[in-house]
Amino acid sequence: MKAKDRELVALRARIAEISPTEAQRLQQQGAVLIDVREADEIAQGSPPGALRLGRGFLELRVEDAIPDFDQPVVLMCNGGTRSLFAADSLARMGYSTLFSMMGGFSRWKAEGLPFEQPSQLDGLARQRYARHLTIPEVGEEGQAKLMASKVLLIGAGGLGSPAAFYLAAAGVGTLGFVDDDVVDRSNLQRQILHSEAKLGMPKVRSARQTIEALNPAVKVDTYETRLSSANVEEIFAGYDVVVDGSDNFPTRYLVNDACVKLGIPNVHGSVYRFEGQASVFWPGYAKRRGPCYRCLYPEPPPAEFAPSCMEAGVLGVLPGVIGLLEAVETLKLLLGVGDPLVGRLLCYDALKAEFRELELQPNSDCPYCAPGRAFPGYIDYEQFCHAG
């Protein structure tokens, strides 16, 4: 008997082998099914819900994907041999309940069990998003989600600039920009989408040029208009997430009210001198009901208590910090990973280099997001300052 055959006999004595039907039953009961085949094999089909880790990177990725070493794990390859070696490797790492699926995917498919063909990335996308593909929480499936997603940015200014840069770099398939302003020299201290050469150009056109130069695969939609109750629903339609980078209260309330009505997550950011805030206003979040913006601020403050951006000023780098936090929250929402800032307000003090988190509760009497309330309509508040 050859050495490899002897090793297989020894492995079968140590590792329990189960049929594809038994593997499916265990998966439905909470076991993790890991497909250890290579990407070209997985492209031909893989069981729904399987973790597609690949044999070559299994040991590097498995602890992040399965932190509970007592959780049952079923390993699957194409014919049932590689999965035995993979199970043995996980046993040496400390995983306690391991199974190898006999016959692998070939038998799974032959027995008529369900499978899907995961979205595949082309060679250029694999190069560009290589660092995403190695993260279990993203991987090829997550990257495909990002590339199919649509994000609308309210404002191509201080907050929208860093958020847009990194959402485009991450591969979000469609970015929309709403802004009716043009590039001014005073913008360039913080609005990094724009440049000296674009002075006087509409900000949405400047943003399109910048994003397309960074990542030509991203589709850029532009809305060179002021957001109003007359156009907000038409513009918001079809977007998965709205990123609010406005700096005036009327727009923030309009964004909030439309997001509540349409059920779209509202990723909020605001900055003032050396301080910034970020949150996710999404009463429809499945894991817990969060507040909307009106739960925190039911009505706009009087104009004398709401200085314009020109009057108050802002440290140029501060929108970069808050805009990047908005981008992170947006990617988490699109991927369905982590704990988003729903019901939490993250406050940043640049002078103290300090983050604080405040818990936010939904207002049970909120006229816009309280359960069972009919939408009361939009309110066109008097503008306090211009977007940007």
Bridge partners for 46 per DSSP: 116
Q: How many residues does the chain have?
A: 388
Nearest-angstrom CA–CA distance, 135 and 334: 15
Nearest-angstrom CA–CA distance, 297 and 306: 13
Which among 77, 292, 309, 369 is annotated as catalytic?
A: 309
Nearest-angstrom CA–CA distance, 77 and 315: 55
Q: At what angle do helices 3-14 and 82-93 cross, to 10 degrees?
A: 60
For residues 245 and 157, the answer to whether their CB atoms sit within 8 Å is yes
309 is catalytic: yes
What the block records as the tokens of 254 is 């309009």
Exposed, middle or buried, 179 (CB in 10 Å: 0-12/13-18/19+)?
A: buried
What are the residue numbers of the active site?
Answer: 309
